Structure 1
């Protein structure tokens, strides 16, 4: 029987989630520096961000379901070993190809924070579940946004490789803290790994609410990924600013991250459809602001606050819906949701790079508006069958 979730353990999970997920996003403010280092185009270097996100999606698919079958401590032990080796390989990469391969493995192993979200839901009581999920998700989003600030600063002053070396040290320290402080959970699922993976298809096909939540999340995160992948190019072309300035924009997005705890509590008090409508309108408004702010730093700041706030509120709502309906398989339904979420992110990265290459910032902004509007369209088409 796992121990009760204490505040110290909950905040450790939140901090750990942020530090590990940061590995996925260190590269985004560094793309220009990496492109110059390897003498490749902006479109080519975007493959580093793309392979990282694809690796994350595969890690979610093949690692996270194990949370319903294998002890969390055993998963962490193997995962961190491979992750640290991949970060070291990235730091020493002699070409874009090797960096892309290393980035895929970094993404694959950095899926581990998604064990913490269902773990928080499992260890907390029903009354505090929304709060617990919100706190872990706050750590995740702060890690995503803070990583860009740190990597932009480090890259501009010390070169992009040092950021990966620093991540190796961070992960070593974090592993030993988690090893001794994280509660051990021994799941009850006894069938084979193959049966476990087959059950993903069962939940996907039998739960319309899960499918719809996954599509909403994928469309929203696709837009955000398109934004962060291309922002560094906008900063250099229109403002003559480097990776450090681009990373600093992550600080403004943290305002949205801090809304996660509030969003978790609101899910117990306000109808889900109203929250989904509100969050999606925030996303559309943010992209409208981006569209007219290609030469306005103030406009970009306002847009970043709104887009991160909208995504976070939508994301917490999606996860509350799927966890409440499937308490016996939280890791597996979270796997389905998050795989779709990051496939959306990977597609958004590719579409964003294409839009920038051919239509510059206006193309990226229109892409974001279309993706956000699509959330409302699919939600209101299918909501009567789900939420």
Structure 2
């Protein structure tokens, strides 16, 4: 037995969620997702301030990601059995308290523990994406998820340069103080703005978690979409982990220049709502192939013998935009596909989807660092190109669905 989505007709306009609420959810997702990435450019100042040895400094960026991964598997599925607004706000409050603890930390161990809970609390973004999917009209779900996801991706892309600018102007502790205040305010706003949503009553927490593995076995759409997005997000992480090194080594950019380059890459977030609209029109299959080709084109472009001038930086920026557009676009296509399944399973399906491709991103970061250290940017480009090509190979084996069972993989 497999889980399949039901076909639906496309209304002329999105229904089921007001535009202001959709924009609020998009902004909230961006602000919350940024919490995981603020620490990445601040590893040096934080480790120096807290006396963390250089060989352990990588834990500063790792702990929020580890907490986020744990939350995806153990917290996000609760959205299938716990009232969604109450759950979202409770987890967001955990993030706010953890941010305060990080800002006040006097010892490295305290900061690392706070980082774990910052990541755990930040899984609120996935609950809000689910919230948007539940509120959206079924035939406008792709558009709504696309708009909310664009906010999430914008937060990820802007977090690093914003953290650098705040630290230069004040201190690294100010980054966490400001974000804690934003999270507390956001919790109040969401408490007022979001309507309550009580999912259907189901089994207890243990049975909920135990049901996740069978979901993978009987949901081919989940397996395929997770595989594709894991390959693409690994390529994304591989690129963004190492491109600052290339910009500093070959183009001699300062930290401010690298931050501005990251801002240019943020232009790709506009692919999310476009992908959602395409999926709502039933064109998700060609859009999937196009997303993979965009990621492949990134590494073909960036692997060229780039001139060490503004032209070379411009080509690299174009490659970054193609990469972000492909990865963001497919994330929306993937979530739209799994959200078309049983509404009572969305928390678990989304938790599995996100946790798996998030792990792929961690693997991509490791592969990027290794490739750049052993073969420079040339080896990194070939490694990066292999990932979307692997996804394309899987995509080419996907059978065309019959009209009566759209979405079957």
TM score, norm. by length of structure 2 = 0.86
TM score, norm. by length of structure 1 = 0.91
Report what 1:329 is aligned to.
345
Report what 1:53 is aligned to.
65
2:232, 2:327 within 8 Å by CA — same for their partners in 1? yes
Alpha-carbon distance in 1 for matches of 2:127, 2:75: 9
2:93, 2:187 within 8 Å by CA — same for their partners in 1? no
Report what 2:151 is aligned to.
139
2:238, 2:369 within 8 Å by CA — same for their partners in 1? yes
Deviation of the 1:44 alpha carbon: 4.9
Q: Render the CA deviation track for 1:209-258: whole Å, top value 9, x for unaligned.
A: 10111111111111212222223333333334343332322322332211
2:238, 2:364 within 8 Å by CA — same for their partners in 1? yes
1:53, 1:343 within 8 Å by CA — same for their partners in 2? no
Report what 1:349 is aligned to.
365
Q: Render the CA deviation track for 1:180-212: whole Å, top value 9, x for unaligned.
A: 111111111331011111221221110111011
Deviation of the 1:97 alpha carbon: 5.2
* Among 340, 361, 386, the residue aligned to 1:370: 386
1:257, 1:309 within 8 Å by CA — same for their partners in 2? yes
* Among 227, 235, 257, the residue aligned to 2:269: 257
1:288, 1:365 within 8 Å by CA — same for their partners in 2? yes
* Among 217, 226, 239, the residue aligned to 1:227: 239
1:23, 1:167 within 8 Å by CA — same for their partners in 2? yes
Alpha-carbon distance in 1 for matches of 2:377, 2:313: 14
Question: Secondary structure, in 3 states, of the residue corresponding to 2:152?
Answer: helix
* Among 316, 322, 329, the residue aligned to 1:300: 316
* C-alpha RMSD of matched pairs (Å): 2.4
Alpha-carbon distance in 2 for matches of 1:209, 1:202: 14
Report what 2:207 is aligned to.
195
Change (3 A) 1:76 1:319: closer
Change (3 A) 1:195 1:56: same
* Among 317, 320, 340, the residue aligned to 2:356: 340
Deviation of the 1:318 alpha carbon: 1.0
Change (3 A) 1:172 1:299: same
Report what 1:217 is aligned to.
229
Tell which deviates more after alignment, 7-16 or 46-55.
46-55
Unpaired stretches in structure 2, ≥5 consecutive residues: 1-14, 402-407
Question: Secondary structure, in 3 states, of the residue corresponding to 2:375?
Answer: helix
Alpha-carbon distance in 2 for matches of 1:50, 1:372: 25
Report what 1:174 is aligned to.
186
Report what 2:218 is aligned to.
206
Tell which deviates more after alignment, 233-242 or 198-207.
233-242
Change (3 A) 1:288 1:310: same
Alpha-carbon distance in 1 for matches of 2:182, 2:102: 15
Alpha-carbon distance in 1 for matches of 2:155, 2:77: 23
Unpaired stretches in structure 1, ≥5 consecutive residues: none
Report what 2:160 is aligned to.
148
Alpha-carbon distance in 2 for matches of 1:366, 1:45: 29
Change (3 A) 1:104 1:207: same
Report what 2:336 is aligned to.
320
Change (3 A) 1:102 1:39: closer
Report how many aligned residue pairs link the two structures: 384
Tell which deviates more after alignment, 6-15 or 364-373.
364-373
Report what 2:12 is aligned to.
none
Deviation of the 1:35 alpha carbon: 5.7
Change (3 A) 1:369 1:46: farther
Question: Secondary structure, in 3 states, of the residue corresponding to 1:260?
Answer: helix
* Among 14, 34, 37, the residue aligned to 2:26: 14
Alpha-carbon distance in 2 for matches of 1:337, 1:225: 17
Q: Render the CA deviation track for 1:325-351: whole Å, top value 9, x for unaligned.
A: 333311211111011121111212222
Q: Render the CA deviation track for 1:75-124: whole Å, top value 9, x for unaligned.
A: 13331232122222333445655544332221111011111222212112
Tell which deviates more after alignment, 224-233 or 208-217.
224-233
